[in-house]
Amino acid sequence: MLPELKIAQLRYFLWVAELKSFHAAARQAYRTQPAVSLAVRELEQKLGQALVEKGGGRVELTPFGEHCLPLFRGLVEHHDRIAREATLLARHEIGQVSIATVPSVASRLLPGPLGRFVAEHPNVQVSIQDGSADSVQQLLAQGQVDFVISSMWMADEQVEFVPILNDQVGVVCRSDHPLVRGGGTLHWSQLQGLPIIRNGTSRLLEGTEAECLLAHSRLFVSNMISLIAMLEEGVGISTLPYLAFPLENEKLAFLPLAEPKVERQIGMLTRKGRSLSPAAEALMTFLRAQLPKAGDR
């Protein structure tokens, strides 16, 4: 059976070997000289060989001690390196965090808060993946990300959802569309007969009075860049959550849908029963405090 080597005993031996004195090693260790001597003797007993020559005023190592010296030094250095890294991880001063989110959150909500977090935690590596609400939830379920910021589309007993904000759905059309000239908010009946382009968020209308509009839609576009191009060209109109609407696009307008009022709930998704790393926990707590709450906008 291999002996269990105590780091403290190894450290005392290294100081004795380096300083050539039990008294000097005791001062270095803030221990008494007998305590250091006892620790070295116990280490020798565990190994079954003497490390230090007996007798004489100056400390000299035995051949066995000389052979063990670099081995013990490497073991103590490895221990200290691991202890230091574990401490930094626990304090979330270093680490890696992987999150996933929908593009609208990634582009509209995350840049400012994430920039501040990275500035305050320069040794924490953060990676972001974006995709549809379905795909980012699947990444979480597969354990490929620490947490997700999105809507929860698929019921999953293994996922915990903590809401952050509500994102209202509206109609997006060209800024010169007759709907815009009408001004104000819209009733779903005003959209009847208009060419509607469905997209990945159109299912938010399911279960509402406006669901019938989807049945008459003859065009579905999943890619946001392609959808925007279609809308700019006047191919039709579409519905989008407010965060997904490109504010900088002067060719398009966002008109809130008042009846029915439809919202998607944005929140944090984590795996139930699974703890986050200290760095991931720190980032999630930071974002919860920084991101706008429901009703702020």
Diameter of the chain by CA atoms?
A: 105
Cβ pair 40, 51 in contact under 8 A: yes
- Check whether residue 159 and residue 197 sit in a common domain: no
115 touches 128 (CB < 8 A) = no
Tokens of 179: 């709907």
Asked if residue 204 belongs to a domain, the reply is: yes
For residue 297, being part of any structural domain is answered with no
CA 232 to chain centre: 35
Q: 153 and 137 in contact (C-beta within 8 Å)?
A: yes
What digits encode the pLDDT tens for the residues 222-253?
Answer: 899 999 999 999 999 999 999 999 999 999 99
Cα–Cα distance, 160 to 141 (Å, whole number): 11
Do residues 160 and 273 share a domain? Answer: yes
Is the domain of 78 the same as that of 108? Answer: no
Judging by DSSP bridges, how do beta strands 252-259 and 159-174 pair with one another?
Answer: antiparallel
Q: What is the pLDDT of residues 44-71, one digit of tens each?
A: 999 999 999 987 667 999 999 999 999 9
Position 208 in a domain: yes
Question: 138 and 222, same structural domain?
Answer: no
Where a domain ends, among 90, 125, 155? Answer: 90
Q: What is the mean pLDDT of the chain?
A: 91
Residue 241 lies in a domain: yes
Whole-angstrom Cα distance, residue 55 to residue 122? 53
* In a shared domain, residues 115 and 67: no
- Both 178 and 202 in one domain: the answer is yes
Say whether both 271 and 160 belong to one domain: yes
Looking up tokens 């398009």 gives 252
The verdict on 45 and 191 lying in the same domain is no
The answer to whether position 296 is within a domain reads: no
- Identify whether residues 134 and 200 lie together within a single domain: no
Same domain? 188 vs 258: yes
* Domain of residue 241, residue span: 167-264
- The CATH number that applies at residue 130 is 3.40.190.10
Domain membership of residue 236 (yes or no) is: yes
- Exposure string of 77-99, with b = 16+ CB inside 10 Å and e = fewer, is eeeeeeeeeeebbeebbbbebbb
Whether residue 295 is contained in a domain is answered as no
Domain boundary among 90, 124, 141: 90
* Three-state secondary structure string covering 66-126: HHHHHHHHHHHHHHHHHHHHHHHHHCCCCEEEEEEECHHHHHHCCHHHHHHHHHHCCCEEE
Q: Which pLDDT tens digit goes with each residue over 109-131? A: 999 999 999 999 998 999 999 99
User: For the chain, what is the domain count?
Assistant: 3
pLDDT of residue 166: 93
What CA–CA distance (Å, rounded) separates 132 from 136? 6
Same domain, 148 and 279: yes
Look up the CATH number of the domain holding residue 76. Answer: 1.10.10.10
Final residue of a structural domain among 74, 90, 106: 90
Q: Each residue of 159-200: pLDDT tens digit? A: 999 999 999 999 999 999 999 987 777 999 999 999 999 998
Q: Do strands 252-259 and 238-241 pair parallel, antiparallel, or not at all (unpaired)?
A: unpaired
Q: Are residues 124 and 43 in the same domain?
A: no
E-only strand ranges, the chain: 95-101, 124-130, 147-150, 159-174, 186-187, 197-198, 219-220, 238-241, 252-259, 263-271
Block residue for tokens 């029915």:
260
